[in-house]
Structure 1
Amino acid sequence: MATTGNFALWIRQLASAENPRARLICFPHAGGSANFYFQFARGFGGLGLEVHGVQYPGRQDRRHEPFRDSIEELADEIGELMGEWKDLPVVLLGNSMGALVAFEVARRMEAMGNPPLSLFACGRVAPTLRKDEQTHLKGKDAFLKEMSLLGGMGNELLQDEEILDLILPPMRADYRMAETYCAAPGTQVSVPVHVHIGRTDPKVNEPEAAQWRLSTTGEFSLDTHEGGHFFFTENGDRLTDAVSSSVRDALAAKA
């Protein structure tokens, strides 16, 4: 494992494994942090997966760093770090904006000859479908209404002005990246892509999620779960099982 300070700045370990067979790297949603996946990571206990979360610049202990300008710029930096990490196979998982970042990181890992085992994309339309709803340009009240609609933040946080002063800037910056991103038609990875969405997610429906099929030349699957945009925060067992099964099958195929 790389031990440089820069690596530790970006990649945070959330769960260890005694004899890990692979690493799961989790990419947060807009405004999210690595610790968002802490509870989800605990579900992999005993499954042989080491779980890590990505910490984007501009939030929490990185709040004094400048925001990045695009999904591609963010992926360039993360992809370079991931290229150094070759002692164990890697699986990428992203939710919402994180799914786009994970997709772009997968592309860079493939270009470096170190592709991930698979990519799990949750709660996001396909990379070639641009949804520029211009949420990042809305006034504070309208922006907070959007946050409330998606869930993932308690209402008490949305009423706390001091906390809002900390979390709104990175949220706006992330929304701008996500809403202005669109992969060119034909942009693909070759690794398996597994898409998971919540049945009541207001941001993505099954036809939009199914378009991820065009983003890979490899295996594709689409699963719908009960719940909304952050369906796995309340019941992530099916997603945990899917990731674990995917790793097991991929490693068996390699063997």
Structure 2
Amino acid sequence: MTPLHRRTPVLRTFHEAPDATSRLVCFPHAGGSAPYYFALSLALSPAVEVLGMQYPGRMDRSGEPAAEDIATLADEAATLIAAAPQPPPALFGHSMGALVAFETARRLEQQHGITPSALIVSGMRSPSQPRRSQDWDREEVLLDELRLLAGTHPGLLENEELRELFLPVLRSDFRAVSTYPGDTTTVLSCPITAFTGDEDPVTPDGMEHWAAHTSAPFTTRSFPGDHFYLTGFPAPVVEGIRAALVRR
């Protein structure tokens, strides 16, 4: 397997997998970071090399301005992946990361001639569905959204000093999602699998719209839990991802 920029600031590997025959590139949710996928890497290695994208503006990329559009993140990811295209990677994205993964897949196919082996999207409406417009400059609007998604400990939301640390990045990420122009025409050649939690505001029926974006097989699956049903990557989620990696 051709190394894919190991231990760079952008694409991270967590476990050595020199004999892996599959590669999975993972894209975090709004406010998330690459280590969110450590547990998934642990579960899938050494058979699968798992990489997590580290978005700018957080952790050791905190000195860089956070991106406020999906295209910037997808451009960066596609360029790095295209430099080591074998084996063709699978892409996994949760929430905001689902849009980044889709746009990365589109760039790989249309600009680099690389068809991903699979696209797995989670907890996000399809590119053909409209985005909600919100005034993310208002802190209370931002906090209400975090409470709805239930992925942030209430204590963090109540602590003013901590809010000042993490809200700027979240604000940029939410802007990136809400200003995403959408896509009603792209049809990828790779299979798409759509995941959601059965208590997620993004309903299983809503995930069905992803089917319009592939000419290959499309599958949906629902797991117990809310928007962050996949945190820690419990066994059923890992098995769902493993199944999607071998589905053609």
TM-score normalized by structure 2? 0.91
Please state whether the residue corresponding to 1:43 is helix, strand or coil.
helix
User: Hey, what does 1:240 align to over in structure 2?
Assistant: 238
Aligned residue type for 1:85: A
User: Hey, what does 2:215 align to over in structure 1?
Assistant: 217
Q: How far does residue 238 in structure 1 lie from its aligned partner after superposition?
A: 2.2
Contact 2:199 2:224 in 1 (8 A): yes
List runs of 5+ in structure 2 lacking aligned partners. Answer: none
Larger deviation, residues 145-154 vs 174-183: 145-154
List runs of 5+ in structure 1 lacking aligned partners. Answer: 251-255
Aligned residue type for 1:244: R
User: Hey, what does 1:54 align to over in structure 2?
Assistant: 53
Cα distance in structure 1, aligned partners of 2:215 and 2:44: 28
Q: How far does residue 141 in structure 1 lie from its aligned partner after superposition?
A: 2.7
Cα distance in structure 2, aligned partners of 1:234 and 1:243: 14
Cα distance in structure 2, aligned partners of 1:55 and 1:225: 26
TM-score normalized by structure 1? 0.89
Aligned residue type for 2:195: H
User: Hey, what does 2:39 align to over in structure 1?
Assistant: 39
User: Hey, what does 1:101 align to over in structure 2?
Assistant: 100
> Do residues 227 (structure 1) and 225 (structure 2) align?
yes
Relative distance call for 1:156 and 1:41 in structure 2 (3 A) is farther
Contact 1:16 1:49 in 2 (8 A): no
Q: How does 1:84-99 map to 2 (within 5 A)?
A: 84-99=83-98
Cα distance in structure 1, aligned partners of 2:220 and 2:181: 21
Aligned length: 245
User: Hey, what does 1:29 align to over in structure 2?
Assistant: 29
Q: How does 1:90-239 map to 2 (within 5 A)?
A: 90-111=89-110, 112-134=112-134, 136-137=136-137, 139-202=138-201, 204-233=202-231, 236-239=234-237
Relative distance call for 1:90 and 1:15 in structure 2 (3 A) is same
Q: RMSD in angstroms over aligned alpha carbons?
A: 1.9
Task: Find runs of 4+ consecutive structure 1 residues off by over 6 angstroms.
Answer: none
Contact 2:191 2:247 in 1 (8 A): no
